[in-house]
A = this chain, B = another copy of it.
């Protein structure tokens, strides 16, 4: 079941740069674990923004929320979720 998630990062103004780098490192590791198991299918950078467009493929709304809320950057991101369905023009 597919969802588009648009994520915008709002970096905290006063965090220690090393702590921030550590959060970014864990963010990447956390995200890639779900890319490898097929649940986080695509991520693209929005040009000119600290933001991305992501596509998830999960079993349920609850599973998606659990994954999203677990991102190390979750407290520093605005997320917007769009539920997607199969399109009649899609191949296969």
**Contacts from A to B (Cβ < 8 Å):** 1-5, 11-13, 27-28, 31-32, 35-36, 42-49, 52-53, 55, 60-62, 64-66, 68-69, 75, 79-91
List the B side residues contacting A81 at CB < 8 Å.
46-49, 83
Cβ B79 vs Cβ A48 within 8 A: yes
- When C-beta atoms are compared, the residue in chain B nearest to A44 turns out to be B84
Contacts of A66 in B (CB 8 A): 85
Check A84 against B45 for contact (C-beta < 8 Å). yes
A84 to B86, CA, bound (A): 20
Q: How far is the CB of A17 from chain B (nearest CB, A)?
A: 11
A75 touches B11 (CB 8 A): yes
